[in-house]
Amino acid sequence: MANETQKVFDTGQPVLSIDGLNVSYPVYGEDPVQAVRDLDLHIQPGEIVGLVGESGSGKTTLARSVMGLLVQPGRVDTGTIQFDGKDLRALPEKQLRAVRGKDIAMVIPNPRSELDPLVTVGRQISNVARAHLGIKRDEADQMAMDMLNAVQIPDPDRRFKAYPHELSGGMAQRVVMAISLVCSPKFVISDDATSGLDVTVQAQVLDLLRALVRSHNTAMLFITRDIGITAHFCDRVAVIYAGEIVEIAPMQSFFENPMHPYSVMLLAAFAHNPTLRAKWHKPLASAAPAHGGACAYAGRCVHAEDHCRQNSAELRELAPGHLVRCHFPVERPL
Amino acid sequence: MRVLRYIGRRMLFIVPQLVGIVLVSFLLVKMIPGDPAVMMVGPMASAETLAKLRTELGLDGSIMYQFWIYLTNLVQGDLGTSWQTTRPVLNDLFVRFPATLELITLSLLLALLIGIPLGVAAAYFRRSVVKKFSDYYGLLAGALPDFWLGMILIYFFYTIFQIAPAPLGRIGFAVMTPSPVTNFLIIDCILEGNWQALWSTLGHLILPVVTLGVITAGPILKMTQSTMERMLESDFIRYADMCGLPKSVVIRQAFRNSLPSIVTIVSVLYGFLVGGAVLVEIVFSWGGAGQYAVQGVLNADINPVLGFVLFSAVLSLIIYLIVDLIYFAIDPRIRG
């Protein structure tokens, strides 16, 4: 998979365009927490974009904003989310429901608690198909069965009638993939989807997901905490820190020449090179991101200078398609 | 098959459970001060009469001996005699229990009709008038005594508007009562085709059923609402939303998952109401089982009390068995 020649996506009409998105969670008696900040992201049809960041960096908030399902009391303050020419934020709830699961599907982690415990998994797949495609039960059941085959569940006839508690984590994850892909969506968001699985199962499931998405030319936003996965998986990589994209680049460019200190730190954390890790890890760093007049990463950056603490950084294109939000981009990690 | 095996195992435990219940309640009733012999012979009787009666009743034996006598009679289907009604307790209970069951079953149905839709709506529309209303309803239903509501209803609908029948029993005086078959008046009327009596029975049921139903809807409402709220926030409902399933489907899904809790609270309420409806029974002169037991306690008439406990226990065991079967039907994880 890693040796597949990297796809190049033209800059035509993106399937998903996020522009200037700001999402915040009001806190009683305090300033609201800004979870996503001035975020731009454009995804082409068929493109797989990896979104990497630590917990709390705004990955899931971004995904939920796209779905229009922010957890209370979160709200989108400004920005547009265009999907397939439609402004999702302006869409009424009922039409949004018709988009969710049909055109934009979501693959989620911990699938066993995400499935209805009282309904057989086959039915859960066909229910989604029925709701969106307006087809009869028999036809939907047949589609569900085809999907179970497509996600390579062993013994699909028996699994069709199984309840979620009777499945292993890996199988439940395949069922969730079947649900999300049954309506052939144009865009899939995978939110940390394999984090609960064993590493071996994880690899199988990811390979399968990638193959299915590729075969339908479906675009995907692949959210993960594991930067290593994105290397095999994505066409482009975006790194998010404190609600801001700090680096976004085509996969090859990113891994050959990471330029943001945070990206390098993430890569170093996964690398088996103690020198590299020691060089980029700042012990007891203040995690509190400073905004407004400072680079958000300045508090944790090993290379931060006074300039960084006084001036916020803008995204700059430093190589073709390779944008970095840093005053002093990294030239040589080691 | 699993179900049958399960029922069989449950049945095995019923007899020891019942013996335990009877023993405990026997000891408890015996601890209440008051000598039935004194009550029976009255204050003017001589000491010899009293002693003779005590011997006849077996009251001079040890308490364990008395319990043994009761148990051996019980095995032969003899629950003893009530000295107040001078009839066998079993016969009394066969009249009294259906009266109470008819009342509380209908009340619970009404309570379900009020509590479930209101609870579901309040859970779904978080910031609505319905939610406010159901909050106040739950508070009021928990705070108001049922007998008080009963008297208010009598005052308005019998005394002032004169549209409800007098609160004096289960059927009008001027109506031919149907011959007792099941002692459930509604069923007996239908069996006999006695529509006039049926009409009167239903009329007499309205006020007490509304009284108990409106109050009992409180806990059902609260349970439905809190379970539904939890379900609507659960992972699988969030996921159903992400899948874009229609609202009605999502709500139905959440409701199905709330059913076990609702069934549980209904079964608890049912068992509770068998004795708990007694104040309402008194207000409406219902002649139910609770009244029968309370009169027994007040007059040291031990057999009706024990008979009532035994009947209630059997009823509760049956209800819990049914509840377990419902769980079986709803939840594949239990069937598993």
A51-94 pLDDT, tens digit each: 999 888 899 999 999 999 888 889 999 999 999 888 999 999 89
User: How far B252 CA lies from chain A's nearest CA (Å)?
Assistant: 11
CA distance B305 to B302: 5
Average pLDDT, chain A: 88
Q: How confident is the model at residue A303 (pLDDT cuts 50, 70, 90)?
A: confident
The fraction of chain B above a pLDDT of 70, given in percent, is 99
CA distance A190 to A209: 10
At A1 the pLDDT is 41
Of residues B83 and B285, more confidently modeled: B285
- In the structure encoding, which two tokens stand for residue A152, read together? 């390579």
- Contact, B82 vs B33, CB < 8 A? no
CA distances from A89 to A107, A191, B65, B243 (A): 21, 20, 81, 18
User: How far A90 CA lies from chain B's nearest CA (Å)?
Assistant: 17
At A283 the pLDDT is 65
**What is the full DSSP assignment across B203-253?**
HHHHHHHHHHHHHHHHHHHHHHHHHHHHHHTSHHHHHHHHTT--HHHHHHH
Say if residue B218 is in the same domain as residue B141. yes
Which residues on B lie below 8 Å from A131 (Cβ)? 243-246, 249
Residue ranges making up the domain that contains B267: 90-331
- Domain final residue, candidates B12, B41, B75: B75
List B residues 245-284 in contact with A (Cβ-Cβ < 8 A).
245-247, 249, 253, 256-257
Q: Would B262 be classed as within a structural domain?
A: yes
Count Cβ atoms within 10 A of the Cβ of residue B56 and give its class: 0-12 exposed, 13-18 middle, 19 or more buried: exposed
- Each residue of A308-325: pLDDT tens digit? 888 888 899 999 999 999
Which residues on B lie below 8 Å from A132 (Cβ)? 244
Say if residue B113 is in the same domain as residue B236. yes
Instruction: Determine which helix (DSSP H) or strand (DSSP E) holds A175, and give its type and residue range.
Output: helix A169-181
- Contact, B192 vs B179, CB < 8 A? yes
The fraction of chain B above a pLDDT of 90, given in percent, is 61
Query: Is there a contact between A128 and B244 if contact means CB atoms under 8 Å apart?
Result: yes
* A286 pLDDT higher than 60: no
User: Residue written as tokens 């760093």?
Assistant: A285
CA distance A243 to A309: 18
User: How far A62 CA lies from chain B's nearest CA (Å)?
Assistant: 14
- Each residue of A220-258: pLDDT tens digit? 999 998 888 888 889 999 999 999 999 999 999 999 999
CA distances from A105 to A69, A195, B100 (A): 13, 18, 55
Q: Would B336 be classed as within a structural domain?
A: no
Say if residue B58 is in the same domain as residue B161. no
Query: Which of A106, A176, A192 to mutate to probe the B interface, most B CBs <10 Å?
Result: A106
Residue closest to B270 by CA, chosen among B109, B93, B92: B109
pTM summary value: 0.85
Say if residue B156 is in the same domain as residue B245. yes
* A270 pLDDT higher than 90: no
Q: How confident is the model at residue A182 (pLDDT cuts 50, 70, 90)?
A: very high
Least confident residue range of A58-72, A281-295, B59-73, B132-146:
A281-295
DSSP letter at A70?
A: P
Which residues on B lie below 8 Å from A116 (Cβ)? 236, 240, 253, 257
At B32 the pLDDT is 79
User: How far B87 CA lies from chain A's nearest CA (Å)?
Assistant: 52
Query: Is there a contact between B242 and A110 if contact means CB atoms under 8 Å apart?
Result: no
- Each residue of A202-223: pLDDT tens digit? 888 888 899 999 998 899 999 9
Q: Would B310 be classed as within a structural domain?
A: yes
Question: What do you get for the CA distance between the two ends of chain A, in Å?
Answer: 28
CA distance B320 to B328: 12
User: How far A118 CA lies from chain B's nearest CA (Å)?
Assistant: 6
The fraction of chain A above a pLDDT of 90, given in percent, is 55
Query: Is there a contact between A114 and B235 if contact means CB atoms under 8 Å apart?
Result: yes
* A3 pLDDT higher than 60: no
Instruction: Determine which helix (DSSP H) or strand (DSSP E) holds B19, and give its type and residue range.
Output: helix B2-31
Among A99, A108, A117, beta carbon nearest to B244: A99
* B171 pLDDT higher than 60: yes
Q: Would B83 be classed as within a structural domain?
A: no
- The mean pLDDT of B59-64, rounded to a whole number, is 82
At B33 the pLDDT is 77
Q: How confident is the model at residue A290 (pLDDT cuts 50, 70, 90)?
A: low
The SS3 assignment for B166 reads coil
- In the structure encoding, which two tokens stand for residue B201, read together? 């029975």
CA distance A238 to A245: 7
CA distance B267 to B269: 5
Count Cβ atoms within 10 A of the Cβ of residue B47 and give its class: 0-12 exposed, 13-18 middle, 19 or more buried: exposed
Average pLDDT, chain B: 90
- Contact, A118 vs B330, CB < 8 A? yes
Among A117, A132, A180, beta carbon nearest to B333: A117
Q: How confident is the model at residue B50 (pLDDT cuts 50, 70, 90)?
A: confident
At B336 the pLDDT is 60
- In the structure encoding, which two tokens stand for residue B41, read together? 């012979």
- The mean pLDDT of A188-204, rounded to a whole number, is 84
User: How far A144 CA lies from chain B's nearest CA (Å)?
Assistant: 15
- Among the residues of B285-301, which ranges form H helices? 289-298
User: How far A40 CA lies from chain B's nearest CA (Å)?
Assistant: 23
Which residues on A lie below 8 Å from B238 (Cβ)? 69, 114
CATH code (residue B109): 1.10.3720.10
- In the structure encoding, which two tokens stand for residue A132, read together? 């969106």
DSSP letter at A178?
A: H
Among A69, A128, A165, beta carbon nearest to B245: A128
Say if residue B120 is in the same domain as residue B15. no
The fraction of chain A above a pLDDT of 70, given in percent, is 93
CA distance A162 to A21: 41
Say if residue B205 is in the same domain as residue B58. no
Dihedral of alpha carbons B206, B211, B212, B216, sign: positive
Q: Would B85 be classed as within a structural domain?
A: no
- The mean pLDDT of A184-206, rounded to a whole number, is 86
- The mean pLDDT of A93-119, rounded to a whole number, is 90
Say if residue B98 is in the same domain as residue B233. yes
Q: Would B82 be classed as within a structural domain?
A: no
Q: Around B86, how many Cα atoms within 13 Å sit in the side-chain half-sphere?
A: 1
Say if residue B44 is in the same domain as residue B148. no
- The mean pLDDT of A143-147, rounded to a whole number, is 94
Phi/psi at B163 (5° precision)? -110, -10
* B311 pLDDT higher than 90: yes
Say if residue B56 is in the same domain as residue B142. no
Say if residue B109 is in the same domain as residue B220. yes
| Domains along chain A with CATH numbers | 16-234 (3.40.50.300), 256-324 (no CATH)
- The mean pLDDT of B125-153, rounded to a whole number, is 93
List B residues 25-44 in contact with A (Cβ-Cβ < 8 A).
none
Q: How confident is the model at residue A115 (pLDDT cuts 50, 70, 90)?
A: very high
Among A99, A116, A165, beta carbon nearest to B253: A116
Q: Tally the domains of chain B.
A: 2
| CA B198 remoteness from chain centre | 22
Which residues on A lie below 8 Å from B260 (Cβ)? none
At A5 the pLDDT is 47
CA distance A102 to A88: 14
- Domain final residue, candidates B75, B101, B116: B75
- Domain final residue, candidates B16, B50, B75: B75
Among A100, A165, A166, beta carbon nearest to B242: A100
| CA B243 remoteness from chain centre | 44
CA distance B118 to B222: 9
- CB of B125 within 8 Å of a chain A CB? The answer is no
At A310 the pLDDT is 86
Which residues on A lie below 8 Å from B332 (Cβ)? 117-118, 163, 165
CA distance A118 to B256: 8
* B216 pLDDT higher than 50: yes
Query: Is there a contact between B235 and A128 if contact means CB atoms under 8 Å apart?
Result: no
- Each residue of B74-122: pLDDT tens digit? 989 899 888 888 899 999 999 999 999 999 999 999 999 999 999 999 9
* B225 pLDDT higher than 90: yes
At B83 the pLDDT is 84
- The mean pLDDT of B133-137, rounded to a whole number, is 94
Say if residue B243 is in the same domain as residue B155. yes
Which residues, including other chains, have CB under 8 Å from residue A284's CB and lie 6 or more apart? none
Say if residue B150 is in the same domain as residue B260. yes
- In the structure encoding, which two tokens stand for residue B257, read together? 């998952």
- Contact, A141 vs B264, CB < 8 A? no
Query: Which of B243, B250, B263 to mutate to probe the A interface, most A CBs <10 Å?
Result: B243
